[in-house]
Structure 1
Amino acid sequence: MQNVTLIERIWQKTKDLELAAAVGDWERAAQLADERSPLLTALGAQPPRDVMARLREIHDIDRRIFENARVAQQELGAEYQASMQASRNAGRYLSVALG
């Protein structure tokens, strides 16, 4: 019974993590992953079959979140590079305009 309560806590953290990732709140998602990690460890090496089924669902959600995080990181990197280039261009303009 203790594992059932624990897996439900893990499930709720996972769903909260999924929501945080969906809205791009990666800081919150990381915090929730950190909070969830010791709960997963507490399940032990041989959880019951019903808990294993829920763990597979959690794994699928984690895989989707990981892919979303990878894509978001690439997009943010591209935006950063574009912003840096725009900043350099504005600086060049100012140098010419004031020159």
Structure 2
Amino acid sequence: MDAQNRIERIWQFTKAIEQAAAVGEWQQAAQLADARSPLLMSLGAQQTPAALAQIREIQAIDGRISQAAQVAQRDLGAEYQASMRATRNVSQYQRVAQF
């Protein structure tokens, strides 16, 4: 696979990762990122200006996805904590209601 085809394939993976992240399919996004990784690692240092521009856009998309993942992680953590509090409250109610 030549460099331009490789970069185009990386772009396709990146857009698929972006779409998966946008709908909260983080497992799919991770699987796609794993599949994309060898292609990224195979890129050489010498690239055309057009390829470098596309690589910069891929990096920008990756940065946005990373930020979205951090927000999702915080939100899920908050939901988990709220669920744990609710579970403790129900348990406490059940203990008190038995008396």
Which TM-score band (shorter chain)? over 0.9
Per the normalisation by structure 1, the TM-score is 0.95
For 1:40 and 1:51, the matched residues in 2 are separated by 12
Instruction: Work out whether 1:24 is the aligned partner of 2:24.
Output: yes
Which residue identity does 2:2 align to in structure 1?
Q
Partner of 1:63: 63
Partner of 2:4: 4
Partner of 1:37: 37
The percent identity for this pair of structures is: 59
Count of matched residue pairs:
99
Partner of 1:95: 95
Which residue identity does 2:12 align to in structure 1?
Q
How much does 1:46 deviate?
2.0
How much does 1:47 deviate?
2.2
Q: Which runs of 5+ in 2 are unaligned?
A: none
For 2:75 and 2:24, the matched residues in 1 are separated by 12
For 1:95 and 1:59, the matched residues in 2 are separated by 54
The Cα RMSD (Å) is 1.1
For 1:36 and 1:61, the matched residues in 2 are separated by 14
Per the normalisation by structure 2, the TM-score is 0.95
Q: Which runs of 5+ in 1 are unaligned?
A: none
For 1:92 and 1:40, the matched residues in 2 are separated by 53
Which residue identity does 1:77 align to in structure 2?
G
Partner of 2:76: 76
How much does 1:49 deviate?
1.9
